[in-house]
Structure 1
Amino acid sequence: MNALPSEIRNEQELEDLLSRPSQQLIETFAGLEGDITILGVGGKMGPTLARMAKRAAPHKRVIGVARFSEAGLKEKLQGWDIETVECDLLDRAAVEALEKTANVVFMAGRKFGSSGNQSLTWAMNVHVPAIVAEAFSQSRIAVFSTACVYPFVDIAGQGAREDLDLNPPGEYANSCVGRERMFEHYSRTQGTKVSIIRLSYAIDMRYGVLHDVASAVQAGEPVQIDSGHCNVIWQGDANDVALQSLAHAGTPPFVLNLSGPELVSVRRLAEKFGEHFGKTPVFSGQEQGRAWIIDTSLQQKLFGYPTVPLPRLIEWTAQWLGDGGRSLGKPTHFEVRDGAY
């Protein structure tokens, strides 16, 4: 295994590292028949996941599907030998016309902007999954979901387990339950093999909980700590495990919590970034006894511990911001507790 760098100097190095496949993924893909389609490849995690899949299995075709509204993304993916197809996933006929590869990663969804246009959120998070699950019923599908499908749980415990009843706050989170239920329905009725990945806060130096907290500390702005605890994971590790989960897809769906093993204190994160930046953090609110946290025991058992530990993520983030590294301008809103995004 390649050693981790002490710092990440530019976006090319960042994306190279984010898309580095593990030996386990390479071996998993060697035993997995068929090519791979990534639906919703245009999001924050999609491009490096697609590149990782191609690096893990150069002999497989990797097809990225999206509307491609971001300038230059299609060309970037093509430069990584990833085929691109423009498609509006709300268009049933367009989805039905897509090539039906043996393996699919579903990454489409809507979160921010949900308040005020809830109907579009439900269409994207529930109707689109139904369209896709029906069209790709013969494929093996890894579905990106979220830890937001759980209710808040006691921070003194181990976090929500995969078998906890799904009863979350807010319309967005409930629409995410709907997404899972659509894939579950087609898995149970059509025999579609599905894995459902309940991800909690992937970390890229350009966005994520660490980026949000570090940016606030650096700017002298208050860090909101009502939601004072969370789980985080290096985006490369998250993508790697999500891709490996294709081999675990089943009927009914295989369900996996995906994040880092630590219960991360937002207050402590802010204090660590304060040490890096030579600033005293300013806090707003008070830690609550319940939070959106998950138990990742099954993930560790099946896939091992993440390759990038939390202290290294903190160092990389501080170094990136200290050097003026680019931000995607997409805050996580981790502090939101009523489910209104």
Structure 2
Amino acid sequence: MQTIEQLELKLAEPSEALLGDMAKINGDIMILGVGGKMGPSLAKLAKNAINKAGLNKKVIGVSRFSTGTLKQELNAEGIETLSVNLLDDRELQELPDVENIIYMAGNKFGTVGNEHFTWAMNAYLPGRVAEKFRNSRIVSFSTGNVYPLTPVSLSGASEEHPTGPVGEYAQSCLGRERIFTYYSHKFGIPMVHFRLNYANDLRYGVILEIAKSVKEQRPIDLSMGHANVIWQGDANEMALRSLLVCDTPPAILNITGPETVSIRWLGEQFGEAFGIQPMFINQEQNTALLSNASKSHKLFGYPRVSLRQMIDWTADWVNEGGATLNKPTHFQERKGGF
């Protein structure tokens, strides 16, 4: 892949499993917070799957759409768009009732110094959304940050592991889950808490950050010496398929790849690809933010795009000077400050 157009086509390529599941999902799909990093590709994947399966469903993307051309881009793909400030309760209540909700709204970066807004987005707003869509299924994007750092030897926290969020962003994300869970009990809303841990496409993600550090001969911090990664297209597909496993109380799914990825090893892979000796600082700790996603793999199968494939694609992308979003993950953060 050498162009954004090729990348977008790859991200929007549905599997046969998704086509089959899309036919089982009754009703239209509304994506709240479609303007984020993953929202546009998820909307396009959903619409493409609907078209290829010959179904009659709408995909509706909701965002402020205050800047840029995303609204027009989505409309051109046959995705309906609604310009809404979800924190404005009047605008929220005017949204049409839709059977299937993918909840992607939230705030992470810029939390430090603006904690009140993060809590409003991540913990207050879910309650308003749950009341509005009490008759829908809701897949709510969450994060592996709700878990504490765990020993690398355990290969990640499974869904049964006690939560232990570090820092206000992670705490507010657990707050989102708790508020949604309250309304799931109150109204019998079937839900999934979709605990994602770290999605990658060629324009952002942990893999890109390591590749660029090697290419630009910048030192790689090994303080968080291990991470989980998953191709964004696979994560999007699992989000859509999760609509069929919503339950009350909410089902919990860790979403990531099967590997516990060594950051040092990842840097060495790009060092070989670029012919550059990677530089490292600090030492690996015996704990890291890691998730065990075997439950979602049992439900949906392993990700279609492998770790090695992501590395190869990213190396080519960086070598060719491909566009990036300049939105670092800050995966190295160990104290929860975002």
User: How many angstroms apart in 1 are the aligned matches of 2:67 and 2:336?
Assistant: 27
- Of all paired residues, the percent bearing the same amino acid is 49
2:227 to 220, 226, 230: 230
Task: Quote the residue 1:15 is aligned against.
Answer: 8
Equivalent residue number for residue 56 of structure 1: 49
**How far apart are residue 34 of structure 1 and its match?**
0.4
Where has structure 1 moved over 4 Å in runs of 4 or more?
A: none
Aligned to 2:118: 121
Of the three residues 136, 154, 176, the one matched with 2:173 is: 176
Aligned pairs, how many? 334
Q: Deviations over 1:234-275 (max 9, x none)?
A: 000000001100000010001100000000000000011111
SS in structure 2 at match of 1:57: helix
Q: How many angstroms apart in 2 are the aligned matches of 1:89 and 1:57?
A: 26
Query: Does 2:35 align with 1:38?
Result: no
Structure 1 residue 164, shift from structure 2 partner: 1.4
Tell me how far 1:209 sits from its aligned partner: 0.1
Equivalent residue number for residue 3 of structure 1: none
TM-score (normalizing by structure 1) = 0.97
Task: Give, in whole Å, the separation in 2 of the partners of 1:134 and 1:111.
Answer: 24
Listed as ranges, the matches of 1:32-181 within 5 Å are 32-58=25-51, 59-181=56-178
Distance 2:40 2:129 in 1: 20
Deviation at 1:24, TM superposition (A): 1.1
Alignment-mate amino acid for residue 292 of structure 1: L
Once the two structures are superposed, what CA deviation does each residue of 1:305-336 show, in whole Å capped at 9, x if it has no partner?
11010001000001001000001010111111
Are 2:337 and 1:340 aligned? yes
Q: Following TM superposition, by how much is the alpha carbon of 1:50 offset from its aligned partner in structure 2, in angstroms? A: 0.4
User: Counterpart of 1:269?
Assistant: 266
Task: Give the structure 2 partner of residue 314 of structure 1.
Answer: 311
2:198 is aligned with what amino acid?
A: Y
2:18 corresponds to 1:25: yes
TM-score, L = length of structure 2? 0.98
TM-fit CA distance, 1:69: 2.7
Q: Distance in 2 between matches of 1:296 and 1:101?
A: 29
Residues 26-60 of structure 1, C-alpha deviation per residue, up to 9 Å, x if partnerless?
11110111001000000010001001111111321
Name the structure 1 match of 2:292.
295
Quote the offset at 1:18 in angstroms. 0.6
Q: Give the letter aligned to residue 93 of structure 1.
A: R
1:152 positional shift: 0.6
Q: Which amino acid aligns with 1:21?
A: P
The Cα of 1:81 is off from its aligned counterpart by 0.2
Query: What CA RMSD, in Å, does the superposition of the two structures yield over aligned residues?
Result: 0.7
Structure 2 alignment gaps of length 5 or more: none
Structure 1 spans left out of the alignment, 5+ residues: 1-7
